[in-house]
């Protein structure tokens, strides 16, 4: 008999820890390997002999390494997350919140738009024919190309800050939701549709009592994709404007000044934010599934 705790250790914690360890080893190895050449050049310029242990130590403590070592990034995270007040402009909590708030705004708008489009497509055949090609075409335009246009156009009519970034997030978000919900709303089996037909149910009743509940599994799957895209969209929205705040602004200023440690710290915060957002959708999904009998 394994207790639940041991089961958790074996099935979740152990594999995750193994992968993490492997990544750390690779990362340290990569840091030494990538940072070695500039160091060797420098030793040669200074004309002094060097030993392997010296090279290892120096490779992991450069100020502007090509690839910072994990403990340098952790140190940066410690300084910018834990040691400064979360309202400070030096705090990654502050920048993370700026990004997250526009990501969540865009996620909300994009998810609602996606659901509305799916409902239209499923119920009105001409909408499917006329809208679907445009919906797909919208996602073939690289977001990096269209984001500056959105920022510039909206900025010229007075919208700056949260809203333009939210719109870029929404632009990325609505697509998986539309595709997933169009599939989900048409997923009821013919026999389930026949059943409500024998009750002379209205289209609205069929939607509420059959199509919507059938689509929920699809909805949550696409919301998970969408919320991760929303974070990406918000960051991309912060890149072209020279925004003063947000993880995108941190990435940009880091790359201006060659502060690779700062870039990596911002990247990790972005990844954590995306992971937490996906997890939050997962919690909402579990809650809904439990209310719907445990099987979806």
Residue 109 is encoded by which pair of tokens?
């708008």
**Rounded Cα–Cα distance for residues 243 and 249 (Å):** 5
Q: Strand, helix or coil at 183? A: helix
284 binds another protein (CB under 8 A): no
Residue 167 is encoded by which pair of tokens?
């719109």
Q: Name residues contacting another protein, limited to 161-190 (CB under 8 A).
A: 189
**Rounded Cα–Cα distance for residues 182 and 7 (Å):** 38
Residue 220 is encoded by which pair of tokens?
């949550």
Of 132 and 196, which has the nearer Cβ to another protein? 196
Choice from 34, 131, 163, 201 touching another protein (CB under 8 A)? 201
Q: Are residues 93 and 267 in contact, defined by beta-carbon separation less than 8 angstroms? A: no
> How far are the Cα atoms of 13, 112, 122, 182, 278 from residue 116, in angstroms, in the given order?
40, 6, 10, 10, 22
Q: Name residues contacting another protein, limited to 212-231 (CB under 8 A).
A: 213, 216
209 binds another protein (CB under 8 A): yes
Of 55-63, 146-154, 208-216, 267-275, which segment contacts another protein by CB under 8 A? 208-216
**Count of residues near another protein by CB under 8 A:** 21
Choice from 210, 247, 251, 261 touching another protein (CB under 8 A)? 210
Place of tokens 């239209």: 120
Of 90 and 197, which has the nearer Cβ to another protein? 197
293 binds another protein (CB under 8 A): yes
Binding site for another protein (CB under 8 A): 189, 191-192, 194-201, 205, 209-210, 213, 216, 292-296
């Amino acid at each position: 008999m394994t207790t639940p705790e041991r089961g958790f250790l074996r099935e979740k914690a152990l594999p995750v820890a193994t992968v993490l360890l492997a990544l750390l080893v690779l990362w340290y190895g990569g840091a030494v390997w990538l940072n070695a050449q500039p160091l060797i050049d420098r030793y040669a310029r200074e004309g002094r002999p060097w030993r392997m242990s010296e090279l290892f130590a120096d490779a992991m403590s450069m100020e502007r390494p090509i690839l910072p070592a994990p403990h340098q990034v952790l140190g940066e995270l410690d300084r910018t997350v834990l040691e400064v007040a979360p309202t400070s402009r030096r705090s990654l909590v502050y920048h993370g919140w700026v990004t997250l708030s526009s990501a969540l705004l865009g996620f909300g708008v994009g998810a609602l738009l996606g659901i509305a489009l799916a409902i239209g497509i499923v119920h009105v055949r001409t909408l499917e024919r006329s809208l679907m090609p445009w919906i797909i075409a919208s996602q073939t335009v690289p977001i990096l190309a269209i984001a500056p246009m959105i920022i510039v156009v909206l900025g010229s009519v007075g919208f700056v800050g949260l809203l333009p970034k939210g719109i870029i997030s929404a632009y990325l978000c609505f697509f998986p939701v539309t595709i997933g919900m169009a599939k989900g709303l048409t997923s009821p089996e013919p026999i389930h549709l026949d059943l409500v037909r024998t009750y002379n149910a209205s289209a609205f009743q069929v939607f509420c009592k059959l199509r919507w509940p059938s689509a929920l599994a699809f909805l949550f799957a696409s919301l998970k994709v969408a919320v991760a895209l929303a974070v990406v969209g918000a960051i991309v929205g912060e890149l072209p404007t020279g925004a003063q705040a947000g993880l995108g602004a941190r990435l940009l200023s880091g790359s201006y000044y060659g502060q690779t440690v700062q870039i990596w710290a911002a990247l990790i915060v972005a990844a954590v934010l995306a992971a937490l957002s996906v997890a939050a959708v997962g919690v909402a999904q579990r809650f809904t599934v439990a209310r719907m009998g445990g099987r979806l």
